[in-house]
């Protein structure tokens, strides 16, 4: 954890000191010129800047969490590059501006005092917001790089607290610090950290598919070094150097470090022009004066040293130090054993483990990509797994060992499944394992669910025919009622949407991505009819839309029996239906005027319940308590939604009491948590 905390500590200390110095100079200037009553305006701007920075961090986290795996990698990679750009610009700006920061801010404060309160609030807001946004972006990137939040956030908190103490000491003149030298030293450190973030960002872009070369490694020490060892973790946490790095990562890391550090060092060599001496302070100046932000100039770097020495040292020294540490430890893995994975050597090196959490280094000694499972050889239950282990590579598998029998099952791509000799462990507690699901296990539930969808599509065809006839007859009042019936029928088939291909977008697509939104010529289907029916469009205007919807439904009825429905997708849909419900229906995003989002939510619940019914036998075999919790959650959400159905119709979301709406959202969020184990329990595993 502490190794992950250091880069964030550095950014928190430096950015906090920058922002703190700005605030303390603003405060000191106001106090010195007798404007203590204007201090609340400064704190208002500071508070607004902090709120903006926290909101920015929340937006980044929420946005990434709602993206697909590849999109998350692309999002993280792009933001990592932006963070590197911001940090680089910040380092050079502060190196250049440290000596004149106090004078520049005093000038801005004087101008703000002349204009009014709003200008002073804006001055403090803009001064702090830049540092806050940079900090949020860089911390978010560090958390993503580390893969956990505790270390980076703790490091940032310590850095910010220390910077606050330093700023207070400077403000009270208790400390005297050469700020130019401080920002020079921390700037060099941040350039090294930014080089690591650049390498990590490039790897993210490669894994997302936006940039090639993801399998071309310049360094691959995974077969010789333990990526989870203390020394590897220390090097990765502080320098972002990993046991496997692609050619692009290495080139980016070295090129950035050499170029940027050279420019930085060259800037330090140049002697700064001393600012003009300020006018003497009035004799009656208050005791609280501005912080000692103007320190003596840094000693010039001797010009005889070649310009490449410092950058080269910053690249070479970490590598040499890491090599010495590894050599001293003999490259041994910490409390873990290496187990071979292949058709010929499956489980070689596996000895009876001790009870408790153990780390196994799985090394693929074969020539095929393999999956490997730690199983109970009698029941086939899975305790741990690794998918896609490439030949010649090593990855760690962490599993909790209890009393019982254990063996390795290796499944090479295109090869035969091999199970190692079993070992028996005694003295541990009972450990829960997952009974694997084979593709054949899902064929029965899939056939049952496809029958439900076929029947539902036949009903949908009839109902859209009625809706089409209403509009042709000009009976728009009846059309509204029949629209809701047909739309809810479609909403109850949510688990099959993935097999509908382009027809789903035509039948129930939203206008969000269209150039003219609801007015766009390509907007069609149920939501287009909803818009027209509830926005006063005539039957003549809606006839073509109704005809197209009826034709698309007819084509769907014809095509669906021949569509490929991946059995492995079935367990995923239970969670995804209600994710879409929470994201689109319960936010009102899909509402085009009817105010029936809660009716659609009820139909989504019915579709989810149907899917869970066909999956129930498989779930009860693996974890009966999952459905107990899920069914309770389904009832809770269903009751809250049903209460919004009044005799006169469905209550629109914006007419619900705020507490009721929060209860529905909270209950749906909890239901999603209860549903989250379903995909993992019913994942198709080759160990079966």
Return the residue matching tokens 């088939």: 493
The CATH code of domain 336-433 reads: 2.60.40.420
Q: Given this model, what pLDDT does residue 629 score?
A: 93
The secondary structure of residue 408, as a DSSP letter, is E
* Inter-residue long-range contacts of 64-69, CB under 8 Å, 24+ positions, other chains counted: 64/144, 66/583
pLDDT of 254 reads 87
| Selection from 20, 78, 475, 674 nearest residue 290 by Cα | 20
In angstroms, what CA-CA distances link 682 with 408, 440, 446, 451, 678?
A: 21, 12, 13, 21, 6
Indicate left, alpha or beta for 410 from its phi (over 0: left) and psi (-120 to 50: alpha): beta
How does pLDDT run across 574-603, given as a tens digit for each residue? 888 898 899 899 999 999 999 999 999 999
Q: Is the dihedral of CA 229, 230, 231, 234 positive or negative?
A: positive
What angle do the packed helices 2-32 and 230-239 form, to 10 degrees? 30
CA separation for the pair 46, 360 (Å, rounded) = 50
* pLDDT tens digit sequence for 250-261: 888 888 888 888
Q: Please name which of 574, 524, 521, 591 lies closest in space to residue 553, comparing C-alpha atoms.
A: 524
Question: In the predicted model, is pLDDT for residue 688 greater than 80?
Answer: no
CA distances, 450 to each of 81, 183, 443, 463, 566 (Å): 46, 65, 10, 20, 11
Query: Rounded mean pLDDT of the chain?
Result: 77
Residues 94-146: tens digit of each pLDDT? 666 555 555 655 565 555 555 455 555 665 676 566 566 666 665 665 565 55
Residues 61 and 328: beta-carbon distance below 8 Å: no
> 567-585 burial string, b = 16+ CB within 10 Å, else e?
bebbbbbbbbbbeebbebb
The pLDDT value given to residue 477: 95
pLDDT, position 51: 79
- Chain centroid, CA 72 distance in Å: 6
User: Can you give the pTM of this predicted structure?
Assistant: 0.52
- Is 244 a residue whose pLDDT tops 60? yes
- CA of 347: how far to CAs of 337, 350, 407, in Å? 11, 6, 8
Q: Which of 589, 571, 592 lies closest to 580 in space, CA to CA?
A: 589
| Of 77-81, 440-444, 451-455, 672-676, the least confident | 77-81
CATH level 3 topology of 441-681: A middle domain of Talin 1 (1.20.1420)
What's the pLDDT score for residue 221? 67
Q: Measured between alpha carbons, how far is 259 from 249 in angstroms, rounded to an integer? A: 15
Q: Where is average pLDDT lowest: 317-326, 407-416, 590-599, 625-634?
A: 317-326
Identify the residue with better confidence: 322 or 392: 392
User: 150 vs 58, 143, 601, CA distance in Å?
Assistant: 16, 8, 37
CA–CA dist 348, 338 (Å, integer): 8
Q: How far apart are CA 314 and CA 189, in angstroms?
A: 9
Q: How far apart are CA 433 and CA 347, in angstroms?
A: 19
DSSP 127-171: HHHHHHHHHHHHHHHHHHHHT-SHHHHHHHHHHHHHHHHHHHHHH
Give the confidence band of 210 by pLDDT, cuts at 50, 70, 90: confident
How many residues in total does the chain contain?
Answer: 688
The secondary structure of 533-566, three-state, reads HCCCCCHHHHHHHHHHHHHHHHHHHHHHHHCCCC
Q: Which residues are registered as beta bridge partners of 97?
A: none
pLDDT (mean) for 658-668: 93
> How many C-beta neighbours within 10 Å does residue 62 have?
9
Mean pLDDT of 275-304: 42
- By C-alpha distance, which of 205, 199, 233 is closest to 218? 199
Does position 295 have pLDDT exceeding 50, yes or no?
A: no
How does strand 404-412 pair with strand 370-375? Answer: antiparallel
């Amino acid at each position: 954890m502490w190794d992950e905390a250091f880069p964030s500590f550095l950014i928190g200390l430096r950015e906090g000191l920058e922002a703190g110095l700005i605030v303390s100079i603003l405060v000191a200037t106001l106090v010195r010129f007798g404007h203590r009553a204007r201090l609340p305006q400064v704190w208002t701007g500071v508070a607004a800047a902090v709120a903006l920075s926290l909101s920015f961090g929340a937006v980044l986290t929420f946005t990434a969490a709602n993206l697909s795996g590849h999109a998350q990698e692309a999002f993280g990679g792009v933001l990592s590059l932006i963070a590197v750009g911001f940090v680089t610009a910040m380092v050079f700006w502060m190196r250049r501006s440290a000596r004149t920061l106090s004078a520049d801010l005093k000038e801005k404060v004087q101008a703000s005092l002349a204009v009014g309160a709003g200008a002073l609030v804006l001055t403090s807001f803009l001064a702090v917001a830049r540092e806050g946004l940079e900090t949020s972006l860089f911390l978010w990137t560090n958390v993503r790089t580390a893969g956990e939040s505790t270390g980076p956030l703790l490091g940032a908190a310590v850095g910010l607290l220390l910077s606050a103490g330093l700023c207070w000491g400077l403000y009270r003149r208790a400390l005297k610090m050469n700020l130019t030298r401080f920002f020079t030293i921390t700037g060099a450190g941040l350039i090294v950290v930014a080089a690591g973030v650049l390498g990590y960002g490039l790897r993210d872009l490669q894994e997302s598919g936006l940039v090639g070369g993801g399998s071309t490694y310049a360094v691959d020490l995974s077969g010789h070094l333990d990526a989870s060892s203390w020394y590897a973790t220390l090097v990765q946490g502080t320098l972002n150097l990993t046991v496997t790095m692609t050619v692009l990562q290495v080139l980016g890391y070295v090129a950035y470090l050499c170029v940027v550090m050279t420019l930085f060092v060259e800037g330090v060599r140049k002697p700064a022009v001393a600012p003009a001496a300020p006018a003497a302070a009035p004799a009656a100046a208050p005791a609280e004066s501005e912080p000692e932000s103007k320190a003596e100039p840094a000693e010039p770097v001797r010009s005889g040293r070649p310009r490449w020495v410092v950058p080269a040292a910053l690249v070479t020294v970490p590598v040499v130090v890491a090599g010495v540490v590894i050599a001293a430890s003999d490259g041994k893995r910490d409390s873990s054993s290496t187990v071979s994975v292949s058709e010929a050597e499956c489980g070689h090196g596996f000895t009876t483990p001790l009870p408790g959490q153990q780390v196994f280094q799985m090394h693929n000694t074969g020539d095929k990509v393999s999956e490997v499972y730690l199983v109970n050889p009698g029941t086939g239950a899975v305790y741990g797994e690794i998918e896609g282990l490439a030949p010649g590579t090593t990855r760690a598998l962490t599993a909790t060992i209890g009393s019982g029998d254990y063996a390795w099952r290796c499944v090479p791509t295109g090869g035969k499944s091999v199970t190692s000799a079993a070992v028996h462990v005694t003295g541990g507690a009972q450990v829960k394992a997952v009974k694997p699901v084979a593709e054949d296990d899902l064929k029965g539930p899939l056939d049952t669910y496809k029958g439900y969808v076929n029947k539902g599509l036949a009903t949908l065809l009839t109902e859209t025919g009625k809706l089409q006839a209403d509009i042709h007859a000009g009976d728009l009042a009846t059309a509204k009622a029949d629209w809701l019936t047909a739309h809810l029928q479609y909403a109850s088939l949510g688990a099959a949407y993935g097999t509908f291909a382009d027809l789903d977008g035509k039948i129930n697509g939203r206008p969000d991505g269209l150039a003219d939104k609801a007015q766009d010529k390509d907007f069609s289907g149920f939501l287009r009819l909803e818009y027209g029916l509830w926005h006063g469009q005539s039957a003549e205007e809606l006839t073509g839309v109704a005809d197209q919807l009826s034709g698309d439904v007819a084509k769907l009825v014809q095509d669906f029996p021949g569509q490929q429905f991946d059995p492995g997708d079935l367990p995923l849909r239970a969670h995804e239906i209600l994710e879409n419900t929470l994201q689109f229906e319960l936010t009102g995003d899909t509402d085009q005027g009817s105010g029936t989002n809660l009716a659609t939510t009820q139909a989504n619940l019915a579709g989810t319940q149907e899917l869970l019914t066909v999956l129930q036998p498989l779930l009860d075999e693996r974890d009966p308590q999952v459905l107990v919790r899920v069914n309770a959650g389904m009832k809770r959400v269903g009751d809250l939604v049903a209460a919004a159905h009044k005799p006169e119709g469905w209550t629109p979301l914006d007419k619900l009491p705020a507490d009721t709406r929060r209860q529905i959202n909270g209950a749906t969020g909890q239901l999603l948590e209860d549903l989250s184990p379903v995909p993992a329990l019913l994942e198709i595993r080759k160990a079966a």
